[in-house]
Structure 1
């Protein structure tokens, strides 16, 4: 019997570093930072920060030293690799390669496919991390339809057209949060003799994944979206392609023997981890995996569903606010919502939310240009709010109140469009953090024509 999961979205499910960070707002004073840009980069879980702090005193050269710190560092790194694999239900013979991020992982896999001379089938509305790497080799682009069912039918038709080595799909859209039926897509790919790779950058922080149970061949994800922003991600999947692929980063640690007339490369994963590994990143990613996996079954999903439902109903009730979807028939989504406000540029909306309300969201085309322009018909982009384990009902209500005020009263101050397309207050009287003051003084302010006076007031 499935245990009943208590839904208490009034408080975060997991604590993160900086949860109560006070941010300056226009007009003076501060407000609690409302972090609703988790789909871009999430803050570190407190458990992740603690794990990194514990590892630092024993930092040593991974795989390369006789000293005790080096041995401890090596043991921690390899244990992190095992925990990362466990988190995604890796099979016994799967390989866990620690990389920088999802983009790095998929570029590695693309080189493995190219080395085999195989073609990749990919849908056009993917994030650029799961679109651009395949363009370096043979690939076929499937135009997404307005429904999941028709999109899958188009994928099936493309796979039936001629053999493909790999189907590459996103587990959850970084634009709208919609989740694709991975087990169905996996069965479809395998039925046509292809493997399947899943870009789980958005899915992994929100849903349980199991390679063994689902049959998915490869999964890629990033630590910075999984509450471990320490520069590490992972590619996990079947060994044979990774053992045969050219080394992802040629260098020490990736070799068995170097001779004047050639090189004997190591097997995966070392084959693709040339140079000194990112120990702290691996430890952080493993700690995040361990912490999320320890949550009661269904707890994270229930927490996010409650918050997501409130955010959707609240936005849809506001006049002039439109919520956007890629697929009319999608029946599941993670806590990511894309919306626009009539008459206001997405960049202006996000600038007002940040400057006047200390709310962080994302605006633009989210590294998914085709999705925004062809499917959503929003060449100017949209505003994206994203929720997660560190979100609470208070965060959602703060955003809804801020958007309602913007719709009914407009911005409290004057804003200008900068040379780079972003928006900023015409006069920013906030007490800016030192890096921003220093950057503005050196010409690196949000608007190139801006200057900072002695009091740290940014004036355009």
Structure 2
């Protein structure tokens, strides 16, 4: 363990058990632990600084409004966007649903097509199925390469002028495979389609620049980025947002309301009906500041080294099957012969090791892999070799139990 990693681990109070022992948390792909900086920001915003936003004329409300909109500016800048291009949502799931229910309903009709991939999270499948059932749009599924990456050569062959949207994961939540997002954007735009990226697994571990990626929509969550649950963001091009109808109706998203008609606020406020997640937005920005201070390049290199070490160790075990590419981003999925991932996860828990076991909200991918579930170890900026050592000890104990 390096001094930097030890210092980072000390920032995260959740990385110890109730008995004060180290907790080897390898489930950051599901949700990341929270640093003191985020906890402190939450405490201040919920306590001494708390007030409503956008509507109070008293000083603290005005100050909280400034902090809330500064948070939007920070988070938008984190991915290379502008503050008026970023909509706060309850998470990436709602962000994708927002696109489907507004842009999708407004722009897609029977005869149009959407291209997804085999490895998508359910949140990037089900909203489009709901849209299909409502509008008659067709869904096509891009295959994967043998090592578990979205096959962009196949996508190029599949895409036609009937395709109006391509929606892919930037990083797979199961395989850790990293999409060549710029090429995917070029392919989508080459047939006149819009391009959406699910960035949940990308933003915690690599630099994201929506302008360089040339995407049209980018969805991500705070809680995987060391921030709070219950908040995420949708970035979209300014002209696209301006043409999208409201997602929900209520306070804050209006310009003028009468019983005869209502006019709406400009984006992004148009898509943020009701009192927003004020505290969560401020804590979200604190998480972005924390990660930015460390550096995404540092985090990416750190996680790549851990992935390489774990994959090398698992590759040497005859009873373990590895999934995904060797150069995956912070995620390693595997299966042990004769051991259900849930059993492995239970035994590892007894060793103070936390992994994910299941289908990871990617059942079509499990069908493709020919397994009901996988075990998934996912790293964070606080992960270190001791976590891998504990995982390997737990796997060896499991082998003895089931041997």
Is contact 1:124-1:141 (8 Å) kept? no
Asked if 1 retains the 8 angstrom alpha-carbon contact of 2:311 and 2:326, the reply is no
Q: Which has the larger radius of gyration?
A: 1
Q: Deviations over 1:118-174 (max 9, x none)?
A: 6432113200111111112224222413347882122222322x3322211101110
Among 75, 83, 98, the alignment partner of 1:84 is 75
Once the two structures are TM-superposed, the CA of residue 16 in structure 1 deviates from its matched residue by 4.2
Secondary structure of residue in 1 paired with 2:196: strand
**Equivalent-residue separation in structure 1 for 2:11 and 2:364 (angstroms):** 34
Shift of 1:55: 2.2
Q: For residues 74-98 of structure 1, give each alpha carbon's deviation from its aligned partner in whole angstroms, at most 9, with x where no partner exists.
A: 11110000001100011x5861001
Deviations 1:327-385 (A, max 9, x none): xxx4631111111111111111111111x2111111110000000112x111x211111
Number of the residue aligned with 1:353: 348
Structure 1 position 271, deviation (Å):
0.7
Cα pair 1:41 1:229 within 8 Å, conserved? no
Larger helix proportion, structure 1 or 2?
2
Q: Secondary structure at the match of 1:260?
A: coil
In the alignment, which of 101, 126, 132 is matched to residue 132 of structure 1? 126
Inter-CA distance 149–370: structure 2 relative to 1 (3 Å threshold): closer
Query: What is the alpha-carbon distance in structure 1 between the residues aligned to residue 4 and residue 49 of structure 2?
Result: 38
Q: How does 1:244-259 map to 2 (within 5 A)?
A: 244-259=243-258
The alignment partner of 2:234 has SS state of strand
Q: CA deviation at 1:44?
A: 1.1
RMSD: 2.2
Q: Which residue of 2 aligns with 1:211?
A: 210
Whether 2:374 is the aligned partner of 1:382: answer yes
Aligned to 2:34: 44
In structure 1, the residue matched to 2:134 is none
Gaps of 5+ in 2: 132-136
Relative distance call for 1:21 and 1:401 in structure 2 (3 A) is same
**Where in structure 1 are there 5+ consecutive unaligned residues?**
1-5, 25-29, 412-460
Shift in CA distance, 186/70, structure 1 to aligned 2, threshold 3 Å: same
User: Conserved in 2, the CA contact under 8 Å of 1:16 and 1:43?
Assistant: no
Distance 1:273 1:52 in 2: 21
Which residue in 1 is equivalent to 2:268?
269
The aligned counterpart of 2:155 is: 155
Q: CA deviation at 1:319?
A: 3.7
Per-residue CA distance 1:411-452 (angstroms, 9 max, x = gap): 9xxxxxxxxxxxxxxxxxxxxxxxxxxxxxxxxxxxxxxxxx
SS of 1:153's partner is helix
Q: Aligned partners of 1:402, 1:150: CA distance in 2, in Å?
A: 32
SS in 2 for 1:220: strand
Per-residue deviation, 1:187: 1.4
SS in 2 for 1:298: helix
- Is 1:367–2:346 an aligned residue pair? no
Q: How far did residue 110 of structure 1 move?
A: 1.1
> Counterparts of 2:108 and 2:194 in 1: how far apart (Å)?
14
Other-structure match for 1:344 = 339
Aligned residues: 392
Q: Distance in 1 between matches of 2:315 and 2:367?
A: 22
* 2:166 match: secondary structure: strand
Residue correspondence of structure 1 range 132-211 to structure 2 within 5 A: 132-137=126-131, 138-147=137-146, 151-160=151-160, 162-211=161-210
Aligned pairs for 1:104-119 (under 5 A) are 104-111=94-101, 112-117=103-108, 119=113
CA 1:410/1:14 → structure 2, altered by over 3 Å: closer, same or farther? same
The question of whether the paired residues in 2 share the 8 Å contact of 1:95 and 1:237 is answered with yes
List aligned pairs for 1:215-254, cutoff 5 A: 215-254=214-253
